[in-house]
Structure 1
Amino acid sequence: MAQNPQTPPILFDRALLHARQRRARAQGEVAFLLDRVNEDMTDRLAAVMRDFHAAADLWTPGEGLSALRARLPSVQRVELDATGDEKLPFASESLDLIASALALQFVNDLPGVLAQIRRALRPDGLLLAAMIGGDSLTELRQAFAAAEAECEGGVSPRVAPFADLRDIGALLQRAGFALPVTDVDRVVVRYASAFALMQDLRSMGAANVLVERRRMPTRRRTLLRMAEIYAERFADPDGRIRTTFDIVWLSGWAPHASQQQPLKPGSAKASLAEAVKKAGKS
């Protein structure tokens, strides 16, 4: 049976993601990216001059958003469940703030989840989230692709596809958010080797969860060649390799009459052409 064109493709095995995140949490996961986001979240929330009475922390891994709990101890925490369900447990217009860290990059139906968030926010409610996107792990992606092409004659899905800034901004508008804003915090981390990087990804619970991932163990020859290519292309003079993580921040407000509104077409008092002419004469 042909797939319904309105049904989003299932890219991620979210049940497997849940299991790996639970294992990482039990073993004391590596949390330097989440620590960075927590610190930045504190600053961003401090810059918002308003009170939030009802808030939720959506799918943040590990111990969740400590920055949000410090400001709102009664915050509702929604953890990823064992089924990986993407249906949100929020009533319509029940929340002033929904925050999320390092979780939305593993959502199969991001437009649908953003629409659910928009419905759950009260008028003038805020979505503030950080997700992995952009060129994250581009070095690992390139090294694996080159090694598999050379050693096995083909390439298998290894690194998840990440949304870029323009895509996310468009999705916020499509979901009905007002005043959408996106920006990127690029973090470059250095490792002793590609294997040290892969160990960190496993410790974060962020190893490959693509539905189309290769199910057989990777050949030792391919792994060794991948590490060689990585070092050849992306190592610093001291031999340590570089790894890119792009943390994409997104925010948007549920529409409210008090918000700044764009001018209606044709309502401007002066035309751009006249402004250009005046600038040329000055």
Structure 2
Amino acid sequence: MSSSTLARTALRQPVRRYAVPSFAPSSASPFAVFDRDLKRNQRNRAARHVQRSRLTDYVKDDVAQSMVDRLLDIKRRYPLVLDVGSGPGFLAKHLDPEITQKVVMVDGARQMLYRDEDVETEVPVERVHLDEEELASHFEENSHDCIMSCLSMHWINDLPGTLVQIKRTLRPDGVFIGSMLGGDTLFELRTSLQLAELEREGGISPRISPMTDSQSVTSLLNRAGFALSTVDVDEVQIAYPSIHELVDDLKWMGEGNAVVNRRRTLSPETLLAAGEIYKELHGLEDGSIPATFQIMHMIGWKPDPSQPKPAKRGSGSTNLADVIGDEGATPLK
């Protein structure tokens, strides 16, 4: 890895926007957006180059730590935690016996799943090689206290179905804590590549995978049957020396393009043009370029009679005028 690659810095800029719950239509799209076999191959290829792969764990490590912090805020213990799309164990390395007694790691890319099996963790782990969209085929209903997923669900084709399986696997009053990349992720790279392709090739193709937004994720959680669901958004910005280091790191993260109708090649001329456009439109004063990763954090609970219920409409006993005062009250006409 070159010294310029190691010189990149992370500029964490938390931007939280809370989504208003709404309900999505009940029908799910039957079409596959992502080539899941290709994505497994990409991630396994990255895992085979262990040292280069580990050097690009910085985004997922940061998000995993944030997710564990959110779990600690709940102030419960979870004897059995299921990590869906675990990778080599980004979450497991941050969990301790005060939180859980065991972590079950599930991932469809076998070599990525076992990449760090020689790395010790504070809690016992069990690795299960299984497609993240097929949880119901392996895990019993009401079998886990907590299910987590760190930056893997943006590659799932049947996201509604996977959320339903996650809720099924949870015990009553169990919690799901997940994170996935949002629609503004790598918007700088997306626009630069589109403009470069228009200039050099006379057309554009999908280079960055389509991603959902916080409003849609809230709807999907509600539709899957979760209670007390919330979604909030962070942004993590990383500075890279140039577009070449960014593209190289995405490759070793296993985050390369896996859209079904993608164009298979990117010419060096187009990439060079994209790099110049990137610097012109988004470049920083020191000559580096920023790359934005939008992180959507989600929390949902499996319904249980013990959970708090909203008060009945009209049951309030406080007059609004008493709260806002006479000056803030507007008389009815």
When normalised by structure 2's length, the TM-score is: 0.77
Query: Is contact 1:15–1:84 with CA below 8 Å preserved after alignment?
Result: no
Aligned partner letter, 1:98: I
1:265 partnered with 2:292 = no
Tell me which moved more, 108-117 or 64-73.
64-73
1:140-167 superposed Cα distances (whole Å, 9 cap, x missing partner): 1000111111111111010011111111
What corresponds to 1:19 in structure 2?
41
CA RMSD of aligned residues (A): 2.3
Aligned partner letter, 1:119: R
1:121-200 matches, within 5 Å, as 121-200=170-249
**Are the structure 2 counterparts of residues 53 and 145 from structure 1 closer, same or farther at C-alpha, using a change threshold of 3 Å?**
same
Give the Cα separation in 1 of the matches to 2:229 and 2:165.
Answer: 16
Query: Is contact 1:125–1:254 with CA below 8 Å preserved after alignment?
Result: yes
Unaligned runs of 5+ in 2: 1-26, 111-129
Give the Cα separation in 1 of the matches to 2:218 and 2:211.
Answer: 14
Aligned partner letter, 2:39: L
**Are the structure 2 counterparts of residues 214 and 69 from structure 1 closer, same or farther at C-alpha, using a change threshold of 3 Å?**
farther
- Partner-residue secondary structure (3-state), 1:202: helix
What corresponds to 1:67 in structure 2?
94
- Partner-residue secondary structure (3-state), 1:87: helix
Q: Give the percent of matched residue pairs that are identical in Structure 1 and Structure 2.
A: 39
Tell me which moved more, 100-109 or 255-264.
255-264
Tell me which moved more, 84-93 or 179-188.
84-93
Deviation at 1:40, TM superposition (A): 1.1
Give the Cα separation in 1 of the matches to 2:249 and 2:66.
Answer: 22
Query: Is contact 2:79–2:145 with CA below 8 Å preserved after alignment?
Result: yes
Give the Cα separation in 2 of the matches to 1:131 and 1:7.
Answer: 19
What corresponds to 2:134 in structure 1?
87
1:203 partnered with 2:252 = yes
**Are the structure 2 counterparts of residues 123 and 73 from structure 1 closer, same or farther at C-alpha, using a change threshold of 3 Å?**
closer
Give the Cα separation in 2 of the matches to 1:167 and 1:158.
Answer: 22
**Are the structure 2 counterparts of residues 275 and 38 from structure 1 closer, same or farther at C-alpha, using a change threshold of 3 Å?**
closer
1:81-140 superposed Cα distances (whole Å, 9 cap, x missing partner): 579561113211111100110101111111111111111111100001111113110001
Give the Cα separation in 2 of the matches to 1:121 and 1:146.
Answer: 45
Query: Is contact 1:18–1:84 with CA below 8 Å preserved after alignment?
Result: no
**Are the structure 2 counterparts of residues 273 and 152 from structure 1 closer, same or farther at C-alpha, using a change threshold of 3 Å?**
farther
Aligned partner letter, 1:95: H
What corresponds to 2:104 in structure 1?
76
Give the Cα separation in 1 of the matches to 2:210 and 2:320.
Answer: 40
For residue 36 of structure 1, the aligned residue among 58, 62, 77 is 62
Give the Cα separation in 1 of the matches to 2:163 and 2:132.
Answer: 14
Deviation at 1:8, TM superposition (A): 3.0
1:16-52 superposed Cα distances (whole Å, 9 cap, x missing partner): 1112112212213110011102221231121112221
Deviation at 1:63, TM superposition (A): 3.0
Give the Cα separation in 2 of the matches to 1:60 and 1:79.
Answer: 6
When normalised by structure 1's length, the TM-score is: 0.90
**Are the structure 2 counterparts of residues 190 and 270 from structure 1 closer, same or farther at C-alpha, using a change threshold of 3 Å?**
same
Give the Cα separation in 2 of the matches to 1:255 and 1:85.
Answer: 23
1:239 partnered with 2:287 = yes
Aligned partner letter, 2:35: D
For residue 151 of structure 2, the aligned residue among 97, 102, 108 is 102
Give the Cα separation in 2 of the matches to 1:100 and 1:274.
Answer: 45
Aligned partner letter, 2:185: S
Aligned partner letter, 2:64: N
Tell me which moved more, 74-83 or 235-244.
74-83
**Are the structure 2 counterparts of residues 271 and 166 from structure 1 closer, same or farther at C-alpha, using a change threshold of 3 Å?**
farther
1:111 partnered with 2:133 = no
What corresponds to 2:17 in structure 1?
none
Aligned partner letter, 2:41: A
Aligned partner letter, 1:58: V
Unaligned runs of 5+ in 1: none
Tell me which moved more, 75-84 or 189-198.
75-84
